[in-house]
Structure 1
Amino acid sequence: MNWEQLKKDFKRYLLLERGLSDNSIVAYLNDVKKLQSFAELQQIEPKDFQTNDIQNFLKWINEFPISEYTQARILSGIKTFFGFLQIEHGLVNNPAELIETPRLSRKIPAVLSIQEIDELISAINLSTTEGTRNKAILEMLYGCGLRVSELCNLKISNLFLDVEFIKVEGKGNKERLIPIGQQAIKYLKIYLEEIRVHQTIKAGKEDFVFLNRRGSPLSRVMIFLIIKDLALKIGLEKEISPHTFRHSFASHLVEGGADLRAVQDMLGHESITTTEIYTHIDKEYLQSVITQYHPRS
């Protein structure tokens, strides 16, 4: 079994059989590259891995400065890889199958208050074309709870603004409909009708909503930098990213009494347990209210 060929076959399997996104495929392949590095050091062929070899691999990666969450994700990727070898290359046993993933404490994501979101959006310079676009971007991130990849890949053909819905392609190429509010519609229309319509657009990219000045779709990094610059502008000390707006969207819905199943559908979570994290944020918020305002606190 040749590592390079196996990685090509694994990539094809993840894309065609599992239907994973490009970002997920890159993460899985990086996991396999780490396993390959270890295997070459130990002179172990892919077909010869035993359970104790996987345990030694986990000890080996533990020497690097990576978090327990990253280690758990790597183990998951390695299990998937050996499962693929069983299906496609006749491997008899999955040496990683019986290794338990360590139980991780659930990390409560950082969220912004409504006031902080208002301050960030108000800091945008609307006298520039980029500012008008950025206003629409932030309204969409917060108003629809989009992942940054979903925002970057949003298509004009998937906007149904007359009925106040958009269609996005989420993880695993799964499509879902999300309601879009009047505020986001307002600034999205301004961007589309007053800014984007005058742009020269790169061939083949005509259907993408958000473009850079060269007429190509915006990258994830660019959106991250837009948000970082705004946080710096208002002196916000929290570490934030585009995903912070998604967390804030969900948290504010739950705080307002929204049904958890509805929030799950809008976020595109496969499991309700993933969405339940926002009930913990809500409890923290309620506790802070008691601490701040109750006379006996």
Structure 2
Amino acid sequence: MCKKSNEEFRMDNLIKEYIEYIENKRKLSLNTVSSYRADLKKYKDYLEENNIDIKDVVETDILNYLVELEKNNTSVSTIARTTSSIKSFHDYLFFSKICAIDPAKNIKKPKIKKETVEILTEEEIEALLNFENLDSNKLKRDKAIFEVLYGTGMKVSELIDLNVEDVDFEMGSITCSSSKNKRVIPLIDVTKKYLELYVNEARENVVADGENALFVSALGHRFTRQGLWKIIKKYSKKANIDKNINPTMLRHSFAIHMINKGANIASVNKILGNTNLSSIQSYLSCIDQNMRKEMNLRHPRK
């Protein structure tokens, strides 16, 4: 929440005050000041078009705006500079005590080089998650692991750090608290179903005394990254998937499949706990590649 009157919240006035600050106090170059002014004018227009008051801006709003720039084929260098402009502006509002929070503090500038994202197809995911039976504690556990990894997009490091109390079956959510981007992720029905099956019918049969980890090894203790890696490799081989599958691939597959189904890109990034715009760029790049492939394969003029 911000602390000034509605009149003082006018973006034009705030931008003017900020520009005077970076000109007179920070002594930034004329070119930088001019670029920041232009960036913030466009940012102001976006907020007004979406009926977002500056006092109500949250991190997702800023990410949504940067995604719009990316969709409009704005260069990576321009997006990087715009990110700096917005971060500096919100930093000014916060430290000037105009606003009580800084929604841009965790947002990072995109990397200039875009990374290629490897994903599994939805058919490959189905094959990987297709367990013929769940007649043992181990199978129930492994099924739950895959459903949680793909159903939430969390990192392997986050999954192995999960404790029993991080799952709220009544609310249908799971809390990732081990990383710096703590967040609560909703559980879809199928993920909740198999996770509940594991917790109620398998974990209690194998867990060691005093162990609080959600997922435990055959010895009853918290998994290691290497142990989880072996499980993923085992089932990818069983599913006859001819790709070098790794846990990150499941995470990216979750993101791309969600976006392909119409999910908001910035919202997906929020679920993943990402604050780096380069991740969004990678997803958009992957989607663009898939679109070109679909056009080549399925266009009626082919």
| TM-score normalised by L of structure 2 | 0.60
CA RMSD of aligned residues (A): 1.7
**2:274 and 2:132 mapped to 1: Cα distance?**
31
**C-alpha offsets along residues 29-83 of structure 1, whole Å, 9 cap, x if unaligned?**
xxxxxxxxxxxxxxxxxxxxxxxxxxxxxxxxxxxxxxxxxxxxxxxxxxxxxxx
Give 5+ residue unaligned stretches, structure 2.
1-110
The one of 230, 239, 261 aligned to 2:244: 239
Is 1:196 matched up with 2:223? Answer: no
Q: 1:228 aligns to what? A: 233
Q: 1:147 aligns to what? A: 155
Q: Which amino acid aligns with 1:147?
A: K
**2:157 and 2:125 mapped to 1: Cα distance?**
20
The one of 249, 256, 260 aligned to 1:251: 256
Contact 2:169 2:196 in 1 (8 A): no
**Secondary structure at 2:150's aligned position in 1?**
helix
**2:207 and 2:113 mapped to 1: Cα distance?**
49
Q: Which amino acid aligns with 1:158?
A: D
Q: Which has the higher contact order (CA 8 A, sep 6+)?
A: 2
Give 5+ residue unaligned stretches, structure 1.
1-102
Q: Which amino acid aligns with 2:284?
A: T
Q: 2:299 aligns to what? A: 294
Q: 1:126 aligns to what? A: 134
Q: Which amino acid aligns with 2:122?
A: I
Is 1:179 matched up with 2:186? Answer: yes
**C-alpha offsets along residues 153-205 of structure 1, whole Å, 9 cap, x if unaligned?**
11111112211211102533x311111111110000100000112224143x2
Contact 1:159 1:166 in 2 (8 A): yes
Contact 2:207 2:221 in 1 (8 A): no
Q: 1:109 aligns to what? A: 117
**1:159 and 1:256 mapped to 2: Cα distance?**
26
Q: 1:158 aligns to what? A: 166
Q: Which amino acid aligns with 1:134?
A: D
Q: Which amino acid aligns with 2:160?
A: C
Is 1:211 matched up with 2:216? Answer: yes
**1:125 and 1:106 mapped to 2: Cα distance?**
41
The one of 241, 255, 280 aligned to 2:285: 280
**Secondary structure at 2:170's aligned position in 1?**
coil
Q: Shift of residue 124 of structure 1?
A: 6.0
Identity across matched positions, percent: 29
Q: Which amino acid aligns with 1:145?
A: G
Alignment of 1:73-88 (within 5 A): none
Contact 2:128 2:236 in 1 (8 A): yes
**Secondary structure at 2:129's aligned position in 1?**
helix
Q: Which amino acid aligns with 2:171?
A: V
Contact 1:154 1:208 in 2 (8 A): yes
**1:296 and 1:108 mapped to 2: Cα distance?**
29
Distance 1:170 1:249, change over 3 A: farther
Q: Which amino acid aligns with 2:236?
A: A
Q: Shift of residue 104 of structure 1?
A: 6.3
Q: Which amino acid aligns with 2:138?
A: E
**2:247 and 2:209 mapped to 1: Cα distance?**
25
**1:182 and 1:150 mapped to 2: Cα distance?**
21
**1:159 and 1:200 mapped to 2: Cα distance?**
17
Q: Shift of residue 125 of structure 1?
A: 5.0
- Structure 1 stretches of at least 4 aligned residues deviating more than 3 Å after TM superposition: none
**2:188 and 2:276 mapped to 1: Cα distance?**
25
